[in-house]
Amino acid sequence: MQEIDYFAAETLDDVYNLLAETGGRVIAGGTDVIVQMQRSAFPATALIDVSRIADLRFIREDTGGIHIGALTTYADVLASCLLHEAAPALIQAAATVGAPQTRSRGTIGGNIGNASPAGDMLPPLLALNAEITLTCAAGTRILPLDDFLLGPRQTCLAPGEIIHSVSFETPPKPFGAVFLKLGNRSGMAIAVVNAAAVLLLDAQGRIATARVALGAVAPRAVRCLHVEAVLAGQQRSDGLFADAARAVQGDIAPISDIRGTASYRRQAAERLVRRALRQAFEQARTES
């Protein structure tokens, strides 16, 4: 393992100054970076630990929606009554991440910043139409999560910037929000395919808005616009969900790796989308 300098930041100004001085990499829970450091080509010579900055750890709601700080852990997500009510897909995703030890250390900001194509928090956040708040010494910018993710472990984070928080509008009832994950074992597995669906119903029970996202089937987690187009404004039916699920083939570009072949992922993605849509609709119907 290469030799790396370590710095512990106490404030956001500390982070900005250390980034400018060292060009280092920001870490919080460190559950991903420690694994990456064991590889020969780790891309940083300094680590800047932000885990002590309490201002980055929160879950709150205001008139603009729900805001989750970058240092919020998976365990924090699971303990949040607000998220259980307003974002059940996030709860389901957080519950699949690692073991309890990982969930108590790993952060939502780390999962986003790591930008793994199989990141479990990314599909539900994409399906919630989430936005990312980025901060640096010069100010703040907000952009859609869909624009932030560029490719495998690639984001549009600029030098000197950090992830401050992620936010999304509180879904109006009736709605359903579901996350499903297919792995090679029942626990602590990297997804072969993961999927999230958010359905908003109108007064007549039609699908007013549909947002679907998948992970591990493309170079980055993706919104499934072909699927969404099939669903918008339609009455629920098994045929509709089957058609929508087949449309996912236009949204994905899976590869073959040690966890599964591209062909298997295509079949699995279609079935997972169909199942997620059924469950999201049933969840929404019970609220209407």
Does the pLDDT of residue 288 top 70, yes or no?
A: no
Extract the tokens encoding 110.
Answer: 């780390």
Q: Any idea what DSSP says for residue 60?
A: E
Q: What is the pLDDT of residues 46-97, one digit of tens each?
A: 899 999 999 999 999 998 899 999 999 999 999 999 999 999 999 999 999 9
Looking at the DSSP bridge assignments, the partners of residue 132 are 143, 166
Statement: residue 36 has pLDDT above 80: no
Q: Which two tokens stand for residue 157?
A: 């984070």
Which tokens in the block code for residue 207?
Answer: 């699908």
| Token digits of residue 267 | 């079949």
- Is residue 227 scored above 60 in pLDDT? yes
* Alpha carbon distance 196, 192 (integer Å): 14
Measured distance CA(153)–CA(168) in Å, rounded: 23
CA separation (Å) from 18 to 42, 65, 165? 19, 32, 20
pLDDT digits (tens, 9 = 90+) for 107-118: 999 999 999 999
Which pLDDT band holds residue 286 (cuts at 50, 70, 90)? confident
pLDDT band at 98 (very low <50, low <70, confident <90, very high): confident
Q: For helices 238-246 and 262-287, what crossing angle results, to 10°?
A: 140
Residue 89 or 39, more confident: 89
| β partners of residue 76 | none
pTM of the model: 0.95
